[in-house]
Chain A
Amino acid sequence: MAETLIPKIATPATTLTAAKTGTPLIEIENLSLYYGAAKALKDISLKLEEKVVTAFIGPSGCGKSTLLRCLNRMNDLIDNVRIDGAIKIGSHDIYAANVDVIELRKRVGMVFQKSNPFPKSIYENVAYGLRLHGFQSKSELDGTVEQSLRNAALWDEVKDRLHSSALGLSGGQQQRLCIARAIAIKPEIILMDEPASALDPIATTRIEELILELKKDFTIVIVTHNMQQAARISNYTAFFYIGELVEFDVTAKIFTNPAKKQTEDYVTGRFG
């Protein structure tokens, strides 16, 4: 059973604009996750490529967010979580005993569902991660803060009030600030957990445009409930159902010609 679930990643590169062939950046191997006795992820194997957008879709409770949080070990913070199997990023097992979780989270950034800027100034929000990792000089901080805000398409809106509170920004601006904060420390991978689900359509469009821009430099894994969003912005899509990976393929194929009946039912809105 598990054999058949392993995705065939060797799709022709011509169907993708940004995908590179070669070794995948993230390899999830036979991953199972338990909350106490409950098995939340069942024997999942997935290979994600570098500098593409991969979407995780599926009905609530299917485990897609849980899997996302395995990739930067945020699940470590929850009591009673146990994991079998392995996740390799750049061929290093991130659950190996000698892994520095701090270093991992520096390389694997995260943007959350609910925008969570620190109650500090806009500038200090972006500088926070930089200061943590030893940046001190003002000119260096200034430059990186500006560049990160530019890359997050927020600079023009906030350049005149960098030192006022981030909590005064709109919801969409706050979420872009969180993206700026994440990319400031130059991660390789950005995990996004339904980053636009709390935003209005215009703010959502801006985030989506931003994601398409960011994938030139970053590998992005995004969890979304929004089918159209997955179709618009992702190169690959993985469909999960009750802790299992049902299907993983090029996004166009998932949405137009899925191999599994279950996937088809979900993406066409017949259940979920």
Chain B
Amino acid sequence: MSKVQSRHFRAEKFDFWSFFFSGLTGLATLFILGILATILLNIIVNGWSAISWHFVSTIPKKDFFDANTTGVLPMIVGTSFRVIVMTIFVIPVGVITAIYLTEYAPNTSIITRIIRAAVNNLAGVPSIVFGLFGLGFFINFAGKNLDLLLHNANAVWGQPALIWASLTLAVMTLPVVIVATEESLKAIPPGLREASLALGATKLETILRIVLPQALPGIMTGGILAVSRAAGEVAPILFTGVAYYMASLPAHLSDQFMDLGYHVFVLSTQSPNIEQTRPILYATVLVLLLLTFALNFVAILIRARVRKKLRALG
């Protein structure tokens, strides 16, 4: 027996090409990891020393290029606000759209196919185009008309504002949420839907009581992806809400706001003294990274709790 086996499992001859290609894939992976590590290390090493409680808790004066007096509190608040407001809008709209596409829309109809194509194309639109769309649609159309109705044409809503920047980001991240939700809805066994319907549940009851609770972790994954994408985006908010400088924190949805990503751009292009600004530039980038990480971390924690609860009981 062992003789027969040993004949079949003889050591192979050295194969140059298989060695070459496995080496190549390994190198490519190392290269990417190396780049990531370089970027992160560079930011952490150079940014860490400039971060202080004063830095993250101070509203700076107009001259925010001075490392001794500046701070990034308004940018942290602005970026957090716009991401949270975006999430509040994008999750319901995305989830409802995905429910329509998977549960209600006739799969073969031309309209369904057009909607799907639109969702996919939306994901490929450059973010600056979303910014221009936000300016044209939300501010100049929706905002101006709101002012006509509510404020005697005084500019309250018809100007860049937190709400319009958030809505623009929501439109941009909509495909992410729709696709993630659709995937998680499709992954639910059809037997569960049938069981519910066979017990005399309506389609709506089945969706609300069986399908959606099961899809919740997948929906949250979509939300996490949307938050990650939106937190660092600058282009969509350029025309729709971000401010170069504000003396106070945004307090209202119609206020403009300062933003970490945009502030990085400002620090690196507008500074009168590059050397003096460099440490705060690094520190601001590090704060942006940490904030994105923190927002993700909170969402991932919530998702883990939901998963655990689903597994234990449902």
**Which A residues lie at the B interface, using CB under 8 A?**
72, 74, 77, 79, 102-103, 105-106, 109-110, 112, 114, 116-121, 124, 128-129, 132-133, 163-165, 178, 181-182, 185
Contact = CB atoms under 8 A, between A and B. Distances in A.
A178 B196 CA distance: 11
B126 interface: no
Interface residues of B, number: 24
21 contacts: A74-B194, A77-B197, A105-B197, A105-B200, A116-B189, A116-B191, A116-B192, A118-B195, A118-B210, A119-B192, A119-B314, A120-B313, A124-B313, A128-B199, A129-B199, A132-B199, A132-B200, A132-B205, A133-B200, A178-B195, A185-B199
A109 B205 contact: no
Given A129-B201, A165-B314, 17 more contacts: A72-B198, A74-B194, A102-B201, A103-B200, A105-B197, A105-B198, A105-B199, A106-B199, A106-B200, A109-B198, A112-B191, A119-B192, A119-B310, A121-B313, A121-B314, A132-B200, A185-B199
A88 B200 CA distance: 19
Contacts, number: 73
B312 A165 contact: yes
Contacts of B197: 74, 77, 105
Of the listed residues B198, B210, B312, the one surrounded by the most CB atoms of chain A closer than 10 A to its CB is: B198
Nearest to A115: B191
Contacts of A164: 312-313
Interface string B254-277: 000000000000000000000000
B199 A116 contact: no
B195 A112 contact: yes
Contacts of B312: 164-165
Majority secondary structure, B binding face:
helix
B314 A120 contact: yes
B199 A182 contact: yes
A185 B313 contact: no
Majority secondary structure, A binding face:
mixed
Contacts of A106: 199-200
B200 to A, nearest CB: 4
B314 A128 contact: no
Rank and list the top 7 A-B pairs by shortest CB-CB distance, nearest first: A116-B191, A120-B314, A129-B199, A106-B200, A110-B198, A105-B200, A116-B195
Contacts of B107: 79
B312 to A, nearest CB: 7
B199 A79 contact: no
Contacts of A118: 192, 195-196, 210, 314
A177 to B, nearest CB: 11
Contacts of B202: 102
A181 to B, nearest CB: 7
A65 B148 CA distance: 63
B199 A114 contact: no
Interface in B82-115: 106-108
Contacts of A129: 199-201
B209 interface: yes
A112 B195 CA distance: 8
Contacts of B79: none
A83 B313 CA distance: 41
Contacts of B194: 74, 77, 112, 116
A237 B49 CA distance: 84
A121 B197 CA distance: 19
B189 A102 contact: no
Nearest to A121: B313
